[in-house]
């Protein structure tokens, strides 16, 4: 399952530097607090991270030179129904989420199952930036500079067995912190939110676990402290605030598929040729948009990552397995 | 206030009041912005206000019959026209910001998507009512006017279906609107007898 890296070893942070990361982060946090930057605004409250920047020299798909969606839009326009159905609700209410201490349970087909402290897990990882397109199933999209590490390197820490065919993820269930999870007669979603990937999708180098964006710790409304990012799939696959990862032989259930199976399949690959039953997926609004410049652009198969991922689905009828 | 005040002055004063949400929208657009995705914000805003005014139209008759507030009757016309105005804005936002004036996309939506069909039906049916809302049209159409304006029930049911079918994640809002409509219709049912006497 090893992924052959095309990152030159010179680009990888030496261990000595890596081990000094904490000192650096404290320094950076102070610097961040004092910095007066016109762009800072809400982002300046969040701790800065040390990470390897993405650039045109990064492996294909890790970087795009498309215009970034500004931080304020990325952090204030969210679908995170645990905090409410309105796009502005998560930014309003997500400060109730307690992101430390945070533990992640790894179970199922792994050599070393257990419940781990997130900070201990992060010590094993080198953070890097990925600038990805994010295409929501609702036909809007953003370009986001994430900070994180590949899911494959995280899973490698626990030794997946040969029986691991799928990875199942689960979001925190805590109605006192996440008001949208409170029982409601009218809700069509069962909490907690669950998602899943096939093992080869999970091990793909483009699949990352994000802990930050715009060089800083993830805002709570973006899925802090740990979220999945799978850039060639609709955003609903990129599960937020993860507390459980289970490797298993069977395909796991996924929240939107349970809620509306005719609208959301297990794969949810970005696909302009397969409409959502209630709207077309041919175009997307690249945010931010204005009243006059609506920025409506054609949606690309696999969200523009065909070259990297189309091979995973060879021989599959993607109009049936949507 | 005497009844003449309501039909002469009051119903004109309703217009600036009813257009306050629109003014609020323009103020937001100018001073704080409509967020990164105005298409989504504007369609929700205009659609909700269209529906609220439509529900307001339907409250006039029960209040008249039940509470004896017949002074409300002259307000029904501007309330209906306001519903039609916000529905028009809703359709405009859909055509301009969602479809980018792509008529083939509109054709595809109308062919495939029942909630768009229901919404468009509701809006289309508002036109004959808006065009015959004046006192003069009412007099000219006589008894047929009342029959024609019963279309409002078809409009509100189509609008409700439109709201239900576009719900995602929860149907709480749609259920609230439906409950209000059920109450308003039930109130009519109970007081149907006098209205039969009115029509010849």
pLDDT in tens, A275-296: 999 999 999 999 999 888 889 9
Are the Cβ atoms of B40 and A280 closer than 8 angstroms?
no
d(CA A16, CA B143): 90
The whole-number average pLDDT for the span A88-101 is 96
Chain B environment of A76 (Cβ under 8 Å) = 35-36
Phi, psi of A134 (to 5 degrees): -120, 115
Give pLDDT, residue B193. Answer: 52
User: Residue A77 is nearest to which of B35, B105, B175, comparing CB atoms?
Assistant: B35
Please report residues of A whose CB lies closer than 8 A to that of B117: none
Instruction: Indicate whether A29 pLDDT > 50.
Output: no
pLDDT at position A156: 96
Looking at the complex, report in whole angstroms how far the Cα of residue A113 sits from the nearest Cα belonging to chain B.
33
Whether A217 shows a pLDDT value over 90: the answer reads yes
Q: Which tokens hold the place of B160?
A: 């409700």
- Pair type for strands A242-248 and A103-108: parallel
pLDDT, residue B38, reads: 94
Residue A10 has pLDDT above 80, yes or no: no
Whether residue A143 lies within 8 A of chain B, CB to CB, comes out as: no
- DSSP H helices, chain A, are 15-19, 21-34, 71-74, 89-93, 118-123, 151-156, 199-202, 255-259, 306-309
Residues with Cβ within 8 Å of A315's Cβ and at least 6 positions away in sequence, in order, are none
Specify the pLDDT at position B27. 96
Task: Please give the pLDDT value at position A205.
Answer: 98
Share of chain A above pLDDT 90, in %: 83
SS3 state at A147: strand
Query: Using CB atoms, which residue from A188, A275, A291 is nearest to B169?
Result: A188
Instruction: Write down the mean pLDDT value for chain B.
Output: 92
* Section A105-122 average pLDDT: 98
Question: Does residue B79 have a pLDDT over 70?
Answer: yes
Q: Which helix (H) or strand (E) holds B193?
A: helix B192-198
Percentage of chain B surpassing pLDDT 70? 94
Q: How does pLDDT run across A145-199, given as a tens digit for each residue?
A: 999 999 999 999 999 999 999 999 999 999 999 999 999 888 889 999 999 999 9
Contacts of B115 in chain A (CB under 8 A): 278
Q: Which of A264, A219, A160, A208 is nearest to A52 (CA)?
A: A208
- Per-residue CA distances from B152 to A181, B80, B123 (Å): 37, 9, 11
Residue B12 has pLDDT above 50, yes or no: yes
Are residues A288 and B171, on separate chains, in Cβ contact within 8 Å?
A: no
Is residue A19 predicted with pLDDT exceeding 90?
no
**CA B76 from centre of chain:** 11
Q: Which residue has the higher pLDDT, A15 or B72?
A: B72
Give me the residues paired with residue A185 across strands. Answer: none
Q: What sign results for the dihedral spanned by CA atoms A286, A261, A272, B45?
A: negative
Q: What percent of chain B has pLDDT over 90?
A: 80
Residue A223: pLDDT above 50? yes
Partners of A195 in the β-ladder: A169
Output the pLDDT for position A41.
46
Is residue A35 packed enough to be buried (19+ CB in 10 Å), middle (13-18) or exposed (0-12)? Answer: exposed
- pLDDT surpasses 80 at A40: no
pLDDT of the residue at B2: 79
A81 has a chain B CB within 8 A of its CB:
yes
Q: Which residue spans within chain A are E strands per DSSP? A: 103-108, 114-117, 128-135, 140-150, 166-171, 194-198, 208-213, 216-217, 227-229, 242-248, 283-286, 296-298
In the predicted model, what is the mean pLDDT of residues A249-262? 96
- Candidates A85, A140, A275; nearest CB to B37: A140
Q: Do A288 and A186 meet the contact criterion of CB atoms below 8 Å apart?
A: no
Phi, psi angle pair for A142, to nearest 5°: -140, 170
Q: Quick one: DSSP state of residue A276?
A: B
The H or E element spanning position B110 is helix B103-112
- pTM for the predicted model, two decimal places: 0.85
Q: Which of B163, B168, B172 to substitute to test the interface with A, most A CBs within 10 Å?
A: B168
pLDDT at A135 over 60: yes
According to DSSP, residue A213 is labeled: E
Q: Which residue of A has its CA nearest to B34?
A: A290
Asked if the model's pLDDT at residue A260 lies above 70, the reply is yes
Per DSSP, the three-state class of A214 is: coil
Does the pLDDT value for residue A16 go beyond 50?
no
Q: Which of A136, A279, A298 to mutate to test the interface with B (most CBs of B within 10 A)?
A: A279
Per-residue confidence (pLDDT) for residue B194, from 0 to 100: 53
Token pair 């060879």: residue: A314
Task: Please answer yes or no on whether B36 and A77 come within 8 Å at the CB atom.
Answer: yes
The confidence score (pLDDT) of residue A27 equals 38
Instruction: Find the residue in B nearest to A141 (Cα).
Output: B37
Give percent of chain A above pLDDT 70.
86
Residue B1's pLDDT band, with cuts at 50, 70 and 90, is low
d(CA B119, CA A320): 29
Q: What is the pLDDT of residue A20?
A: 45
CB-based contact (8 Å) between A273 and chain B? no
A140 with B108: Cβ contact below 8 A:
no
Whether the pLDDT of residue A82 is over 60: the answer is yes
CA distance B55 to chain A (A): 21
Average pLDDT along chain A: 89
Q: Per the CB < 8 Å rule, is B167 touching A187? A: no
Residues of B with CB under 8 A from a CB of A: 29, 34-40, 96-97, 100, 105, 108-109, 112-113, 115, 165-172, 175
Q: Across the interface, do B39 and A81 touch by the CB < 8 Å criterion?
A: no
């Amino acid at each position: 399952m090893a992924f052959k890296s095309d990152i030159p070893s010179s680009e990888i942070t030496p261990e000595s530097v890596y081990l000094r990361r904490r000192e650096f982060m404290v320094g950076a946090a102070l610097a961040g607090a004092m910095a007066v930057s016109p762009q800072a605004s809400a982002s300046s409250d969040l701790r800065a991270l040390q990470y390897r920047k993405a650039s045109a020299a990064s492996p294909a798909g890790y970087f795009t030179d498309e215009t970034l969606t500004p931080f304020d839009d990325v952090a204030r326009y969210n679908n995170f129904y645990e905090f409410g159905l309105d796009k502005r609700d998560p930014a309003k209410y997500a400060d109730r989420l307690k992101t430390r201490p945070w533990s992640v349970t790894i179970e199922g087909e792994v050599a070393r199952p257990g419940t781990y402290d997130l900070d201990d897990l992060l010590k094993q990882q080198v953070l890097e930036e990925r600038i990805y397109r994010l295409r929501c199933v609702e036909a809007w999209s953003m370009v986001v500079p994430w900070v994180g590490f590949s899911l494959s390197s995280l899973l490698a820490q626990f030794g997946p067995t040969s029986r691991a065919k799928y990875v199942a993820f689960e979001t925190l269930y805590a109605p006192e912190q996440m008001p949208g999870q409170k029982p409601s007669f009218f809700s069509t979603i069962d909490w907690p939110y669950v998602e899943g990937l096939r093992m080869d999708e999970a091990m793909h180098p483009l699949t990352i676990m994000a802990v930050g964006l715009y060089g800083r710790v993830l805002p709570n409304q973006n899925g802090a402290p740990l979220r999945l990012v799978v850039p060639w799939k609709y955003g609903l696959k990129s599960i937020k605030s993860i507390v459980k990862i289970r490797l298993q032989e069977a395909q796991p259930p996924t929240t939107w598929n349970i809620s509306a199976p005719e609208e959301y399949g297990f794969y949810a690959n970005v696909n302009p040729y397969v409409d959502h039953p209630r709207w077309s997926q041919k175009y997307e609004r690249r945010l931010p948009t204005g009243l006059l410049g609506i920025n409506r652009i054609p949606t690309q198969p696999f969200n523009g990552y065909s070259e990297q991922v189309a091979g995973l689905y060879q021989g599959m009828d993607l109009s049936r397995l949507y | 206030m005497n009844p003449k005040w309501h039909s002469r002055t009051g119903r004109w004063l309703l217009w600036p009041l009813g257009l306050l949400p629109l003014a609020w929208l323009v103020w937001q657009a100018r001073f704080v912005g409509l967020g990164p995705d105005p298409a989504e914000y504007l369609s929700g805003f205009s659609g909700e206000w269209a529906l609220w005014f439509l529900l307001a139209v339907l409250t006039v008759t029960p209040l008249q019959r039940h509470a004896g507030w017949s002074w409300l009757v002259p307000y029904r016309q501007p309330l209906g026209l306001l519903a039609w105005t916000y529905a028009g804005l809703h359709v405009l936002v859909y055509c301009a910001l969602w479809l980018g004036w792509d008529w083939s996309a509109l054709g595809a939506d109308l062919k495939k998507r029942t909630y768009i069909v229901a919404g468009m039906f509701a809006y289309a049916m508002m036109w004959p009512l808006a065009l015959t809302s004046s006192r003069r049209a009412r007099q000219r159409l006589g008894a047929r006017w009342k029959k024609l304006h019963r279309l409002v029930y078809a409009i509100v049911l189509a609008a409700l279906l439109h709201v239900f079918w576009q719900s995602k994640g929860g149907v709480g809002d749609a259920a609230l609107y439906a409950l209000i409509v059920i109450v308003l219709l039930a109130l009519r049912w109970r007081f149907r007898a006098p209205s039969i006497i009115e029509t010849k």
